[in-house]
Amino acid sequence: MRVEALIKRRRNNLIFFAVLLAATLVSIIITEFEVTKAFTSIPRAIGWAVKSFYPNANSLEKIPKILVKLRETVLLSIASTTVAAIFAAFLALFGSKTTQINSFLAAVSRGIASIFRNIPVAAWALILLLSFGQSSLTGYFALFFATWGFLTRAFMETIDEVGSEGVEALKAVGASYFHIIFQAVIPSSLPQMISWVLFMVETNIRSSTLVGILTGTGIGFIFNLYYKSFQYNAASLVVVFIIISVLVIEYISNYVRRVIL
């Protein structure tokens, strides 16, 4: 019996790796991926980075310009995340098993959240570009929609996990729906929700770099500008500033999380 089980597991593993190998070959062919080039380009990239991808004295003059764009990007990600969080909180209340009003509305909210979440932020940006043009608002709404979808799901899970503790007790004392939401669900899920919002702010700074490249705004635009005009020293300075801002925000979020959770 044991031997048979072992053979079966062996065979399953074999099938798994065969499928993996086939998928790899198909992927390599379909994407025209040149394996040798992949290996040779890594040392080339390192060589290039050491030779020309670092901030020099000239590029330091661009700091004020970069900082303006960085501020725009950071504020854009914060503003889109907070507003999306408010919308997500409502949708999550409708969609969560604990607080849903009825199962039909719950299914609708979950469907909406799933659609918004599963359209990539780059696709949102390209869709909105057509009507909003190259303004901050394009990026704002692109980040807003994707964040709304993501946070709705995160909040729903939070409410079902920790927000349901006091609900039954409050029902039993005769509290109304709104009492329960404000006195039990919100106080118990708020710390976890804040943690998700901070996570999204962090994520959105990276996403808004991408969106900026597509829509010609913020830090992504200025990186693309220097990059395309071969001003690699200035472009590397942009990268340095992005790294600093992401790490600072990560540090603050970790501190807040440690205290409130």
Partner 1 sequence: MNVLEVKNLTKKYGTETLALSDLNFSVKEGEFVSVIGQSGAGKSTLLRCINRMIDATEGEVIFAGVNMCKLDKKALRKQRRKIGMIFQHYNLVNQLTVIENVLHGRLGYKSTLAGVVGSYTNEEKRQAFEIIDMLGLTEQVYKRCDQLSGGQKQRVGIARALIQNPKLLLCDEPIASLDPNASKVIMDHLRNISTKLGITCLVNLHQVDVALKYADRIIGINKGKIVYDGPPDLTAEQIHMIYGSQAGELIIDIGGRNES
Partner 2 sequence: MNFSETLKSLWVQSPGKRQGIAAKKYIIKRANKASIVMNITLISLAILTIYGFFTFEYKDVKILEVIAATAANFKTMLLEPRFNHFDLSKGLYQVGVTLGLAFLTTLIGGFIALFLGLLAAQNLSSLIVSNIIKGFVAFVRAVPTVLWVLIFAVAAGLGSVAAVIGMTFHTVGYLIKAYSESFEEVDAGVIEALKGSGANWWQIVFQAVIPSSATYLLSWTFMRFEINYMNAVAMGAAAGAGGIGYELFMDSSFYFDLREIGLITYFILAIAVMLEFISIKLKVKLRED
Site for partner 1 in 150-169 (CB under 8 A): 162, 165-169
**CA dihedral for 218, 223, 226, 227, sign (positive or negative):** negative
> Out of partner 2, partner 1, none, which partner does residue 132 contact, by CB within 5 to 8 A per kind?
partner 2
> Out of partner 1, partner 2, none, which partner does residue 135 contact, by CB within 5 to 8 A per kind?
partner 2
Neighbours of 156 (CB within 10 A): 26
To partner 1, the closest distance from the beta carbon of 192 in angstroms equals 10
- Our CB check for partner 1 shows the closer of 165 and 250 to be 165
> Out of partner 2, partner 1, none, which partner does residue 188 contact, by CB within 5 to 8 A per kind?
partner 1
> Out of partner 1, partner 2, none, which partner does residue 41 contact, by CB within 5 to 8 A per kind?
partner 2
Contacts of 176 (CB under 8 A, 6+ apart): none
Q: By the 8 A CB rule, do 95 and 111 touch?
A: no
To partner 2, the closest distance from the beta carbon of 232 in angstroms equals 8
H/E/C letters for each residue in 194-226? HHHHHHHHHHHHHHHHHHHHHHCCHHHHHHHHH
Query: How far is residue 94 from each of residues 108, 164, 233, 240, measured CA to CA in Å?
Result: 9, 14, 50, 42
For 212, the token pair is 């900026």
- Our CB check for partner 2 shows the closer of 63 and 79 to be 79
> Out of partner 2, partner 1, none, which partner does residue 178 contact, by CB within 5 to 8 A per kind?
partner 1
> Out of partner 2, partner 1, none, which partner does residue 166 contact, by CB within 5 to 8 A per kind?
partner 1
To partner 2, the closest distance from the beta carbon of 178 in angstroms equals 19
Query: How far is residue 108 from each of residues 20, 73, 99, 121, 200, measured CA to CA in Å?
Result: 37, 33, 14, 22, 24
- Our CB check for partner 2 shows the closer of 61 and 71 to be 71
To partner 1, the closest distance from the beta carbon of 91 in angstroms equals 20
Contacting residue, 170, 200, 213, 234, with partner 1 by CB under 8 A: 170
Q: Does 175 bind partner 1 (CB under 8 A)?
A: yes
Contacts of 226 (CB under 8 A, 6+ apart): 62, 232, 234, 235, 238
Q: Does 256 bind partner 1 (CB under 8 A)?
A: no
Residue 182: how many CA atoms within 13 Å on its side-chain side? Answer: 5
Contacting residue, 174, 228, 258, 259, with partner 1 by CB under 8 A: 174
Tell me how many residues contact partner 1 (CB under 8 A).
23
Contacts of 252 (CB under 8 A, 6+ apart): 198
Distance CA 100, CA 126 (A): 34
Which residues here bind partner 1, judged by CB under 8 A?
162, 165-176, 178-179, 181-184, 187-188, 190-191
